[in-house]
């Protein structure tokens, strides 16, 4: 089928996305085998995030592992489906390293929000646990909602709308509807969305949280253009046009960073800088 072939091709093209989806699915099957066949929750207890602070202190790694643990088929299916489609849009503009950073940090932020609430309301969350990639996935959606809010998309491949409206529909359906069911998990969604919105906002300001270089003032790279000895003293229209292109690319680098240039822009900048 064309759709399955397209999915296969996309997963091959984006190794980070493929690994994330594969890890989530493999962990899902392992957990279900251990619970359904061997009737033990021992492995699940080592992966899901306990919202009792005293228990969490003994299992700090669960702040990371919980976002790869799903126990329900519907839970893992819809999370991975939305992760796949949201990643396609994210990876049009940003790198796989940035994608992985936003995924993990959104998941961690969602978990930390819930842990803070459990400290204030210990009786409410005493026996609760957090699992699933929802907060991490919604962080990816939220980041693009700020970074490319008006990008046209086809919702379910049928209805065309701006990305920000699709993101709102996803958030409402995932979080607001039936809020009284899995309330703790849905609270973590707010943390994931908050980090995604913050990341997208800062990225538009030229500050990439996925790189520590955003803490340092950006310096415009210096490109040395060597004039041919046979060239006239004046500037030809062609060289003026090339210099204008270089200046435009350098201005863009100063705003969003070199890593966020498209492949074609990087190649063009390199080509122009090598001309003598």
pLDDT greater at residue 30 or residue 238: 30
Q: Decide: 115 and 62 in contact? Cβ < 8 Å.
A: no
Highest mean pLDDT among 175-179, 196-200, 210-214, 239-243: 196-200
pLDDT greater at residue 2 or residue 203: 203
Highest mean pLDDT among 103-107, 161-165, 185-189, 228-232: 103-107
Share of the chain above pLDDT 70, in %: 77
Has residue 222 got a pLDDT over 60?
A: no
**pLDDT band of 227, cuts 50, 70, 90:** very low
Share of the chain above pLDDT 90, in %: 40
| Rounded CA separation 197/189 (Å) | 12
Q: What is the pLDDT of residue 127?
A: 78
pLDDT, mean of residues 47-54? 91
Domain residue ranges of the chain, discontinuous segments joined by +: 2-204, 217-276
Among 196, 85, 81, 195, smallest CA distance to 149 is for: 196
Tell me the average pLDDT of the chain: 81
Among 122, 113, 23, 125, smallest CA distance to 63 is for: 113
pLDDT greater at residue 27 or residue 261: 27
Q: What is the pTM of this model?
A: 0.73
pLDDT, mean of residues 239-262? 70
Q: Decide: 154 and 138 in contact? Cβ < 8 Å.
A: no
Please give the span between the terminal C-alpha atoms of the chain, in angstroms, as a whole number: 51
Using one digit for the tens of pLDDT, what is the confidence trace for 71-120? 888 889 999 999 998 898 899 888 899 999 999 999 999 999 999 998 88
**pLDDT band of 63, cuts 50, 70, 90:** very high
For 2-204, give the CATH class: mainly alpha
pLDDT greater at residue 163 or residue 14: 163
Among 144, 140, 192, smallest CA distance to 165 is for: 144
Q: Decide: 239 and 273 in contact? Cβ < 8 Å.
A: no
């Amino acid at each position: 089928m064309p759709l399955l072939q397209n999915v296969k091709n996309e997963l091959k093209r984006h190794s980070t996305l493929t690994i994330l989806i594969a890890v989530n699915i493999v962990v899902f099957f392992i957990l279900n085998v251990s619970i359904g066949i061997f009737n033990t929750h021992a492995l699940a207890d080592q992966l899901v995030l306990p919202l009792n602070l005293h228990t969490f202190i003994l299992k700090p790694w669960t702040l990371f592992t919980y976002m790869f643990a799903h126990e329900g088929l519907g839970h893992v299916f819809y999370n991975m489906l939305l992760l796949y489609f949201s990643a396609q849009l994210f990876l049009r503009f940003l790198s796989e390293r940035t994608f992985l950073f936003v995924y993990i940090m959104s998941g961690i932020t969602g978990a930390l929000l819930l842990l803070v609430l459990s400290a204030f309301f210990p009786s409410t969350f005493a026996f609760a646990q957090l699992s699933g990639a929802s907060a991490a996935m919604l962080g990816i959606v939220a980041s693009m909602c700020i970074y490319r809010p008006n990008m046209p998309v086809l919702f379910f491949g049928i209805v065309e709308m701006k990305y920000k409206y699709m993101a709102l529909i996803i958030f409402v359906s995932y979080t607001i509807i039936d809020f009284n069911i899995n309330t703790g998990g849905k609270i973590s969604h707010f943390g994931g969305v908050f980090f995604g919105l913050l990341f997208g906002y800062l990225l538009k300001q030229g500050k990439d949280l996925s790189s520590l270089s955003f803490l340092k003032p950006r310096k415009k790279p210096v490109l040395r253009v060597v004039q041919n000895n046979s060239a006239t003293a004046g500037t030809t229209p062609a060289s003026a046009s090339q210099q204008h292109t270089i200046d435009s690319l350098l201005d863009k680098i100063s705003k969003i960073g070199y890593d966020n240039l498209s492949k074609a822009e990087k190649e063009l900048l390199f080509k122009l800088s090598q001309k003598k």
